[in-house]
Amino acid sequence: MPPDGRVRVRFWGTRGSIPVAMTSAEVRRKLIAALMHAAGRTLDTPEKATAFLEREVDFAISHTFGGNSSCVQIAAGSNDFVLCDMGSGARVFGNDVLATRGPAGHTFHVFMSHLHWDHIMGFPFFVPAYSVANHVRIYGCHAGLEAAFRGQHAAPFFPVDFSGLSARIEFVRLQPGRDYEIAGLRVRAKLQRHGGDSYGYRFQKDERIVVYSTDAEHKQDDLAEVQGFVEFFRNADLVIFDSQYSLAEATSIKEDWGHSSNIVGLELCQRAHAKRLCLYHHEPLSDDERIGALLAETRRLEEITRGDRRVEILAAYDGMEIAL
């Protein structure tokens, strides 16, 4: 367990659909904005400059929400590693494990929401899979789970065939709605609306609950479905939620594209008495300023619609860590 006994969630990839990188124009725009904020100030030491950026400049200017696709780590007491999805963020996670814990002797439990490319594309670059002394268990509810992972290693897509991976790799089929005890966590999967189906996961350690629900569209006129997700989110300490589209997009030009909005996520969390909502699976066309504006908008909406319980609103970024 983490030293203080808390459940910790770390984001290694937060983008949806495809990884993105900041352009030179975006970096330049951030630098200009930061310099304008600093006009007239004396920032002649690294400490002063750091304090200025952290306290007086908006996150969207001083940082970036990042560009890797979906990968989230849950640390809850086991020496094993627990991940949700293997997007391009899994490459960064794997490199961090090698740097901090060494190359071998590790067990990884990976829970797959679905098999679209942005959620599996990090696996061929997941270096721990190339060590004979590591064990990787990949869980999911799709019948084609193993075939998808093997397929992206096949020629002409990748130069190393799946058979060339040295780690012990297992694929475990889960049944939605059933509770499992895995790596010290109680885990339950739930079917979600998405092309080819996707599955959300509810993780519980003692009284701490984390829900990972990405790549899911919610039809607000289907009351039974809505209530099902309210129960799935019930009393969660953290709900990681697909908010790729605006409500207008999700109900018009991008209806049936398999994604949701910040507003739907907030409504579900309010009804479920969830403590925190983390906006996730960011639209690749959205720059940091747009994601920052979405976060501010959602926080304002939460204040306006708040009942007797507050929902803390966050926006995921690569490298973000939340302690529960």
> What is the mean pLDDT of the segment spanning 65-94?
96
Digit-coded pLDDT (tens) for 16-66: 999 999 999 999 999 999 999 999 999 999 999 999 999 999 999 999 999
- Is the pLDDT at 201 greater than 90, yes or no? yes
Digit-coded pLDDT (tens) for 221-263: 889 899 999 999 999 999 999 998 877 776 776 777 778 899 9
Gap between the Cα atoms of 271 and 307, Å rounded: 10
Which range (4-8, 12-16, 64-68) has the least confidence? Answer: 4-8
In CATH, 8-32+45-323 is 3.40.190.10 = no
Is residue 202 helix, strand or coil?
Answer: strand
CB-based contacts of 218, cutoff 8 Å, min separation 6: 193, 225, 226, 229, 260, 264, 268
- Is the pLDDT at 219 greater than 90, yes or no? no
CA distances 5 to 79, 194, 206, Å, are 13, 36, 11
> What is the mean pLDDT of the segment spanning 294-305?
96
- Is the pLDDT at 2 greater than 60, yes or no? no
Res 249: pLDDT: 79
Digit-coded pLDDT (tens) for 103-156: 999 999 999 999 999 999 999 999 999 999 999 999 999 999 999 999 999 999
Res 4: pLDDT: 64
Res 248: pLDDT: 75
Contact yes or no for 98/105 (Cβ under 8 A): no
Res 258: pLDDT: 76
Q: How confident is the model at residue 6 (pLDDT cuts 50, 70, 90)?
A: confident
Digit-coded pLDDT (tens) for 172-200: 999 999 999 999 999 999 999 999 999 99
Gap between the Cα atoms of 301 and 100, Å rounded: 41
175: how many CB neighbours lie within 10 A of its CB? Answer: 9
Q: What is the pTM of this model?
A: 0.94
- Is the pLDDT at 1 greater than 60, yes or no? no
The H-assigned helical ranges of 222-261 are 223-233, 247-250
φ, ψ at 165 (rounded to 5°): -80, 130
Contact yes or no for 114/194 (Cβ under 8 A): yes
- Is the pLDDT at 3 greater than 60, yes or no? no
Res 250: pLDDT: 67
Q: How confident is the model at residue 310 (pLDDT cuts 50, 70, 90)?
A: very high
